[in-house]
Structure 1
Amino acid sequence: MRLVGLVLLGCFLGRILPAKSPNQLGQFLYWVGVPISIVSFLRLTDLSGQIWIAPAIAHLAILLGAFLAWLGIKGQEYFTNSVPQPSTQGSLILAAMVGNTGYVGFPVVLALVGKEYFAWALFYDLLGSFLGAYVVGVALAAHFGNATEHQQQVTKAIFFNPALWSFGFGLLFRQVSIPPFMEFGLEKLAWICVALTLILMGMRLSRLNSWHKLPQAGSSLTIKMLIVPLLLGSILPLLGVTGSPAKVVLLEMAMPPAFATLVMAENFGLDRELAVTALAMGVILLLVTLPFWLWLY
C-alpha cells in the first residue's frame, strides 16, 4: 500500500506543482538521492552467495525480450503481410527488453523484500540492465533509427553515471566504521530518497498524456512484464537462486520499460509515441502485476 500511496501522491503533486518540478526532483535523485541510497544500503546488505549470477540473468532477460519482440514482428509480417516501420520496430524491441530496474526496481525491492538483499537488485541493474541498455539498446536504436549517436556521448553516459561511481565507492565504504548515529542518519536519508523516487514516478506518470498505439505497446509489455519473468523465473531454482534472492531477481525482471527507452527514441528518431505509451502503461500495469508475482512465487 505504501508503494501505491506514494505513486498516487506523486500523481497529485505532478498536477499542482510547476511543470519543471519533476525534472528538478529527477536531477536531485540522479546526482544525489540514488547514489546516497546505494552507498547506504550497500552497508546493510549481504554480498555473499551467488550474487554475481544476477547480472547474467539480467543479460539473459534482455536478450530473450529482444528475441521475442523480433519474433512477434516477424509473426505479424507473416500473418498480416504488413510490417511496422523500422522506427516502430526499434521502439517495440526496446520496450520489451530494457526494464526500469533502478528508479522503479530499487524502491519496489526494498519495500517488498528488504534491504538485506538489495545488492541483488543493485548488481542486476548496474552490471546487467544498465550495460544492456547502453550497449545492446544503443546498437539496436542506431540500427532502427534515422539518427546517429556519437560514440563519445554513449561513453560519457556510461562512465559519468553517478550510480555506477557510488556503487564502487559503496563497496569500499563498507569497510569503514562510522558512529551509530551517522549510520542511522544515513539509512533514514536513503529511505527518504526511496520515497522521493516513488513520488517522482507518480509525477512523471501524471504528465504522460500519450495513450496512442495501445495494442503495439501491449505486445511489448506482455513480453517484458509477463512472458520473460515467467520463463526465466521458472528456471531460477535450477540456477541455484531460491528464496528472497529469487524474489528480487523476479521483481527486477518484471519491471516496466525504462525511461531510457524514451531517451533513445528521441535521440535516434524511433517511435516516440509508442515509447511514451509503453512507459505509461507499464507503470500502471506494475501496480496490477506486483501482487500476482508475490502470490505466484
Structure 2
Amino acid sequence: MSALLILFVCLALGILSRRYASLPEGIVPGINWWVLNIALPALVLALVPHVTVDARLWFPVAAMHLTFFGAWALFATLGQWLGWSRHRVGCLTLVCGLGNTSFIGYPMMEALHGKPGLSLAVIADQLGCFPLLAAAGIVVASMYSGRSANAATIARRVLTFPAFLALLAGAMVGLFGGWPESVEKVLMQIGQTLTPLALFSVGLQFRLHLRREQVGALAAGLGWKLLLAPLAVLGLGLAAGVGGLPLTVGVLQAAMAPMISAAILADQYGLEPRLANTVLGAGILVSLVTIPVGNLFLPAG
C-alpha cells in the first residue's frame, strides 16, 4: 500500500509544482534524461539477471504486440466508418496502442506484485513495448503524417537505446551467475530513483484539454487502452493456458495508461497533438484507479 501511495503523492507533487512553483528552465527534459539514461538502465541491469527463463515469458511480450496491432486495426476501421482524418487514426494508434509500461508500469507492478512482478514488467516493456515504439511506432507516425520511414533510423534507435543495451548486458550477466552483491545494491539504489522522479515528471507534464469534438475519439481511445485491450490479452492468455503472475502482469501492462513518449512522438509528427495530450492526461488519471481494481480479479491479485 505504501508503494502504491508513492505513485499518487509524486504525481500530485508534480501537478502542484507545475501550477504553483517557480520551476527552473529545462527541468522536465533533465528529469526525463536521468530516468531514461541512468535510472531505467540501472534498474534493468539489476533485475534482468534474476529473471528465470520460462516458457511463459512469451506472454507479456505478446500482450504488448496484441495491444498495439489491435489498436491499429480498430482505429483504422473506426476511421473509415466515422470519417476520421489520417492524423487522428495515427494519433490514437500511437497513444492507445503503446502503454506507459515503464514510468507507471514499473512502480505499479512493484507496488502490486513486488520484485517478481517488476521483473516481468521489465520483460514486457523492454522486449515488447519499447521495440514497438522504436520500430512500428515510427512506421505508423510516418505513414499517417505523410513522411517516409527510414529503416536505418529505426534500427539505430532500438540498438542504441540505453535500457535496451542494459537488457542485453543483464541477460549476459544472468548467464554467469549475476552481479556481486555490492554491485547489485548500487544498481538498485540508482534504479529506485526511477519511481519518484518519473511520476513527478508525469505530474509536471499533466494536461487535460477536452474539446467537444474530441469526446468520441477520447472515449474510443481509452475504451481500447483501459478495457478492451486487457480483456483481449486476458482471452489470449486463458486460451493459451497461461496463468499466475505472467498472465496477471501481461494483462495489467496491456491496461496501463498511454505512453508519454508516444504522445511526444505524435506531437513531433503533427498527429493531433491536443488530442494526444488529452488522451494521455485522462488515461493516467483513470488508470491509477482501474489498474488496482482490475488486479483484484486476476489470478495473482
TM-score, normalised on structure 1? Answer: 0.88
Q: Is the 8 A contact 1:45 1:115 kept in 2?
A: no
My pick for the range that moved more, 47-56 or 273-282, is 47-56
Q: Is the 8 A contact 1:146 1:270 kept in 2?
A: no
Q: Is the 8 A contact 1:59 1:128 kept in 2?
A: yes
| Counterpart for residue 189 of structure 2 | 188
Q: Distance in 2 between matches of 1:120 and 1:178?
A: 19
Q: Is the 8 A contact 1:109 1:248 kept in 2?
A: yes
My pick for the range that moved more, 113-122 or 26-35, is 113-122
The 5-angstrom pairing of residues 95-106 of structure 1 reads: 95-106=95-106
Shift of 1:191: 2.1
| Counterpart for residue 58 of structure 2 | 52
For 1:167-208, what per-residue CA distance to the aligned partner results, in whole angstroms no more than 9, with x for missing partners?
Answer: 011112233565544433432332232332222222222xx3
Q: Is the 8 A contact 1:66 1:97 kept in 2?
A: yes
Q: Distance in 1 between matches of 2:209 and 2:135?
A: 28
Aligned residues: 289
Structure 1 runs not aligned, ≥5 long: 77-82
For 1:54-104, what per-residue CA distance to the aligned partner results, in whole angstroms no more than 9, with x for missing partners?
Answer: 22232122211221222322332xxxxxx1222122112222312221222
Q: Is the 8 A contact 2:39 2:192 kept in 1?
A: no
SS state at 2:99 partner: coil
Out of 12, 15, 20, which is 1:11 matched to?
15
My pick for the range that moved more, 214-223 or 174-183, is 174-183
For 1:119-162, what per-residue CA distance to the aligned partner results, in whole angstroms no more than 9, with x for missing partners?
Answer: 32222222222222233222222221134454443333222111
Q: Is the 8 A contact 1:9 1:199 kept in 2?
A: yes
| Counterpart for residue 65 of structure 1 | 71
SS state at 1:296 partner: coil
The 5-angstrom pairing of residues 186-225 of structure 1 reads: 186-205=187-206, 208=207, 210-212=209-211, 213-225=214-226
The one-letter amino acid of 1:211's match is L
The one-letter amino acid of 1:196's match is L
Q: Distance in 2 between matches of 1:281 and 1:258?
A: 12
Q: Is the 8 A contact 2:106 2:118 kept in 1?
A: yes
| Counterpart for residue 115 of structure 2 | 115
| Counterpart for residue 91 of structure 2 | 91
Shift of 1:253: 0.2
Q: Distance in 1 between matches of 2:181 and 2:268?
A: 46
Shift of 1:107: 1.7
The one-letter amino acid of 1:65's match is A
TM-score, normalised on structure 2? Answer: 0.87
Q: Is the 8 A contact 2:143 2:149 kept in 1?
A: no
Q: Distance in 2 between matches of 1:128 and 1:23?
A: 25
Q: Is the 8 A contact 1:100 1:257 kept in 2?
A: yes
| Counterpart for residue 133 of structure 1 | 133
Q: Distance in 1 between matches of 2:124 and 2:28?
A: 26
SS state at 1:101 partner: coil
| Counterpart for residue 282 of structure 1 | 283
The one-letter amino acid of 1:58's match is M
My pick for the range that moved more, 21-30 or 173-182, is 173-182
Mark the CA change 1:37 to 1:232 in structure 2 (over 3 Å): closer, same or farther.
Answer: same
Structure 2 runs not aligned, ≥5 long: none
Q: Distance in 2 between matches of 1:147 and 1:210?
A: 27
Work out whether 1:142 is the aligned partner of 2:148: no
Q: Distance in 1 between matches of 2:6 and 2:274?
A: 30
Percent identical residues: 23
For 1:14-59, what per-residue CA distance to the aligned partner results, in whole angstroms no more than 9, with x for missing partners?
Answer: 3422242111000111110100011112244433342133222321
The one-letter amino acid of 1:132's match is L
The one-letter amino acid of 1:108's match is M
Work out whether 1:28 is the aligned partner of 2:34: yes
Mark the CA change 1:214 to 1:19 in structure 2 (over 3 Å): closer, same or farther.
Answer: farther
Q: Is the 8 A contact 1:46 1:117 kept in 2?
A: no
Q: Distance in 2 between matches of 1:44 and 1:56?
A: 21
Q: Distance in 1 between matches of 2:180 and 2:129?
A: 35
